[in-house]
A = this chain, B = another copy of it.
Amino acid sequence: MMASRRQEVLTAALDLLEEVGIDDLTVRRLAQRLGVQPGALYRHYPSKRALLDAMVGHIVAGAPAPAVPAGDWAGHLRAMAASGREGMLAHRDGARLLATFYDPGPDAVASFMRIVEVLRAAGAAERAAVVATDTVLAYVNGFTMEEQARRAATPRPERDRDFQAGLDLIIAGIGATLPPAP
């Protein structure tokens, strides 16, 4: 196991997030849950902000790596979109947390580039591929934010269907700008 104390603090913070939500995620509450004085946490993270960043890092890293169907650009787009949404929905206030504290690292840039590559392989021009990728990601973030903030009442299957339907709209738009398959 060999979990460093730093890791334990992070895990406790993620658990606490699930219990009380981000607005009540306080240094003191976290310290209490660890059976420790508030100041002790600053041995492991230099600030609360740094801790939140680490939580965000854990969330984006934990998103399920999609099984890539080679050559199927629409499938790739759908998988990436679903994975991004899933990562946020998996944690209470996940979307808000990402929106507020996410600073894209090299791995995020890498997966962005991978999508662009897939679209380029399907025949899209460089700029068109970037625009399409940007658009899908903006949609995923916008939809999920709104979903988590204001649609907790709507049953999950319905939300899934709505998300899918909007994504299909965008994919149709992208498909129209692509050269026809040979």
Contacts and interface: CB of A to CB of B under 8 A. Distances in A.
A162 interface: yes
A177 interface: yes
Interface in A42-89: none
Given A140-B142, A141-B142, A170 B100 contact: no
Contact of A100 (B96, B142, B146, B169): B96
Contacts of A96: 99-100
A174 to B, nearest CB: 6
A138 interface: yes
A86 B119 CA distance: 30
Nearest to A166: B135
A131 B173 contact: no
Sort A-B residue pairs by CB-CB distance and give the 10 closest, nearest first.
Answer: A142-B142, A173-B173, A138-B142, A135-B166, A172-B173, A169-B173, A138-B143, A141-B142, A131-B165, A139-B139
B146 A138 contact: yes
A95 B79 CA distance: 27
B166 A99 contact: no
Interface string A145-168: 110011000000000001001101
Contact of A162 (B134, B143, B165, B173): B134
A150 to B, nearest CB: 8
A3 to B, nearest CB: 33
A176 interface: yes
